[in-house]
């Protein structure tokens, strides 16, 4: 709030407030649907912080936090057993981005914030956070699938190739068949990975 006065009389009252990023409310809603708890760390007073939190649906407010205290607050949350992702764009956010389990920097932010964050949102939209989390989970599923099939093929193929069936059946694996099976194992993993090109949020 800015008060303008002339001759000891108030002539103007000017209210200044930070504007919320587009789609903030929708992004918070999606995070809640994914089972993620949200919090805001702000240097503003608690009343302002709670007003913003209420408007967009944020769960927890950490207000009147000095820039140098942000990383400590993140560490405190981690010590309580939380896995913390931090979204920031300023110089003051860099230590907190580094402390968080996942630092997410906005592309419009400072260079130091973008260098500190593990993930940089080029479009600056908070909905991209949802896409990033969803794509990360999808990627992890693909990695687990590939590991499963690789172990499955090897757990069967290697014993057969070493002749484990020979005492029972007198059968040894033909090298050509072994090579084809090995190639098929690699191709199946690559094809499964290529399916990610069809990813849609």
pLDDT digits (tens, 9 = 90+) for 49-91: 888 889 899 999 999 898 889 999 999 999 999 999 998 888 8
pLDDT, one tens digit per residue, over 9-32 is: 888 877 666 667 778 889 999 999
Considering the domain architecture, whether residues 124 and 140 belong to the same structural domain is answered as: no
Give the percent of the chain with pLDDT over 90.
27
As a whole number of angstroms, the distance between CA 135 and CA 129 comes to: 10
Q: Is pTM, for the whole model, over 0.75?
A: no
| Count of domains observed in the chain | 2
Are the C-beta atoms of residues 27 and 129 closer than 8 Å to each other?
Answer: yes
Considering the domain architecture, whether residues 78 and 172 belong to the same structural domain is answered as: no
Instruction: Please identify, among 111, 130, 149, the residue that sits at the C-terminal boundary of a domain.
Output: 130
Are the C-beta atoms of residues 25 and 56 closer than 8 Å to each other?
Answer: yes
Considering the domain architecture, whether residues 92 and 140 belong to the same structural domain is answered as: no
Find the domain containing 49 and state its range: 2-130
Considering the domain architecture, whether residues 122 and 139 belong to the same structural domain is answered as: no
143-174: b or e for each residue (b if 16 or more CB lie within 10 Å)? eeeeeeeeeebeeebeebbeeeeeeeeeeebe
End-to-end CA distance of the chain: 42
Instruction: Please identify, among 92, 109, 130, the residue that sits at the C-terminal boundary of a domain.
Output: 130
Considering the domain architecture, whether residues 126 and 139 belong to the same structural domain is answered as: no
Considering the domain architecture, whether residues 107 and 13 belong to the same structural domain is answered as: yes
């Amino acid at each position: 709030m800015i008060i303008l006065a002339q001759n000891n009389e108030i002539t103007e009252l000017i209210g200044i407030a930070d504007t919320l990023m587009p789609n903030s409310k929708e992004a918070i809603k999606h995070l809640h649907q994914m089972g993620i708890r949200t919090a805001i760390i702000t240097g503003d007073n608690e009343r302002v912080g709670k007003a913003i939190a209420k408007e967009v649906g944020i769960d927890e407010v950490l207000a009147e936090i000095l820039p140098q205290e942000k990383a400590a607050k993140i560490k405190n949350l981690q010590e309580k057993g939380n896995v913390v992702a931090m979204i920031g764009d300023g110089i003051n956010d860099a230590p907190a981005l580094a402390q968080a389990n996942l630092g997410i920097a906005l592309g419009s932010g400072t260079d130091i914030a973008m260098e500190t964050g593990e993930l940089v949102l080029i479009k600056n939209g908070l909905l991209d956070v949802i896409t990033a989390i969803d794509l990360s989970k999808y990627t992890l599923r693909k990695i687990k699938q590939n590991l499963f099939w690789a172990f499955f093929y090897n757990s069967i193929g290697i014993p057969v190739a070493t002749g484990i069936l020979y005492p029972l059946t007198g059968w040894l694996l033909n090298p050509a068949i072994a090579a084809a099976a090995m190639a098929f194992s690699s191709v199946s993993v690559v094809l499964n990975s290529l399916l990610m090109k069809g990813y849609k949020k």
